[in-house]
């Protein structure tokens, strides 16, 4: 039996835009064969998200959400390709779900590429310093730092966060599913989150 690694799942996910679980299942069903797994997902229609990723998305909605009797406020701009989809109930529901996610999970960035290099360097240094203080051997510190950075990204990047209503999904999976069902490219353009008493 072929062992399915995280790297294999990641590669297939990047190529298809399908969710992590779907990619893992496709690889397991095809004994780790990338091409067969890719075709398997394409046949299921889950690879459709990738094809739409490059298309212009300038329509959409700005969703406003207030939580906890006005203690937390969120504004998120979600874009799609056509006004027709932008006005649809499903699209507006997705925008609302993303606003709820932002209110509850307080991400700092939309996608991994948005994290400045100096922030990653600082977080790496913190993780390495902590590991050394705890007396960890030098040989294992790079692995500890790598694990720490994965956790940092999963907590601070919106698309990598665990979806608040279903912990088997990431926010990216939620958006990819919407891309497949609505047949349009969907992009989180920007968001802002305010909390009462917080300095901006």
Q: What is the pLDDT of residues 186-196, one digit of tens each?
A: 999 999 999 98
Residue range 106-125: mean pLDDT, rounded = 94
Distances (CA, A) of 121 to 60, 97, 127, 146, 149: 35, 32, 10, 12, 10
**CATH (one of 3.30.2350.10, 3.40.50.360, 1.10.8.10, 3.30.450.20) for 6-52:** 1.10.8.10
Is the predicted pLDDT of residue 51 greater than 70, yes or no?
no
Query: What is the residue whose two structure tokens read 């307080």?
Result: 106
Is the predicted pLDDT of residue 46 greater than 60, yes or no?
no
Reported as type and span, the H/E element at residue 192 is strand 187-195
Mind listing the pLDDT tens digit for each residue in 73-84? 999 999 998 889
CB–CB of 73/198 below 8 Å? Answer: no
> In sequence order, what are the residues at sequence separation of 6 or more whose Cβ sits closer than 8 angstroms to the Cβ of residue 165?
97
Is the predicted pLDDT of residue 55 greater than 70, yes or no?
no
CATH architecture assigned to 59-111+157-195: 2-Layer Sandwich (3.30)
Q: What is the spatial distance between Cα 84 and Cα 106, in angstroms, rounded to a whole number?
A: 30
- Strand-by-strand arrangement of the 59-67 sheet: 59-67, 72-80, 187-195
Every domain range in the chain assigned CATH 1.10.286:
116-155
Fold of 116-155: GTP Cyclohydrolase I; Chain A, domain 1 (1.10.286)
Compute how many other C-beta atoms are within 10 angstroms of the C-beta atom of residue 77: 16
CB–CB of 186/57 below 8 Å? Answer: yes
pLDDT band at 198 (very low <50, low <70, confident <90, very high): confident
Every domain range in the chain assigned CATH 3.30.479.20:
59-111+157-195
Mind listing the pLDDT tens digit for each residue in 59-99? 899 999 998 888 999 999 999 988 899 999 999 999 999 99
Compute how many other C-beta atoms are within 10 angstroms of the C-beta atom of residue 13: 22
Q: Dihedral sign for Cα 15, 16, 20, 25, please.
A: negative
Every domain range in the chain assigned CATH 1.10.8.10:
6-52
Q: Say how many CA atoms lie within 13 Å of 132 toward its Cβ.
A: 8
15, burial (CB in 10 Å: exposed 0-12, middle 13-18, buried 19+): middle
């Amino acid at each position: 039996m072929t062992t399915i690694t995280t790297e294999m799942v990641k590669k297939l996910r990047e190529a298809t835009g399908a969710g992590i679980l779907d990619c893992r299942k496709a690889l397991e069903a095809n004994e780790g064969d990338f091409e067969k797994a890719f075709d398997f997902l394409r046949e299921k229609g889950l690879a459709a998200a990738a094809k739409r990723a490059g298309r212009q998305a300038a329509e959409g909605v700005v969703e406003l959400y207030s939580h906890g009797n006005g203690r937390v406020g969120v504004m998120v701009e979600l874009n799609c390709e056509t006004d027709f989809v932008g006005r649809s109930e499903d699209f507006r529901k997705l925008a609302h779900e993303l606003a709820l996610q932002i209110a509850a999970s307080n991400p700092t960035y939309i996608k991994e590429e948005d994290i400045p290099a100096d922030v990653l360097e600082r977080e790496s240094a913190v993780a390495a310093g902590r590991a050394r203080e705890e007396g960890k051997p030098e040989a294992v510190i790079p692995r500890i730092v790598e694990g720490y950075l994965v956790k940092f990204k999963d907590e601070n990047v919106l698309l990598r966060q665990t979806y608040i209503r279903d912990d088997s999904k990431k926010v990216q999976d939620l958006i990819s599913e919407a891309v497949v069902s609505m047949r349009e490219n969907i992009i989180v353009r920007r968001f802002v989150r305010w909390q009462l008493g917080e300095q901006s």
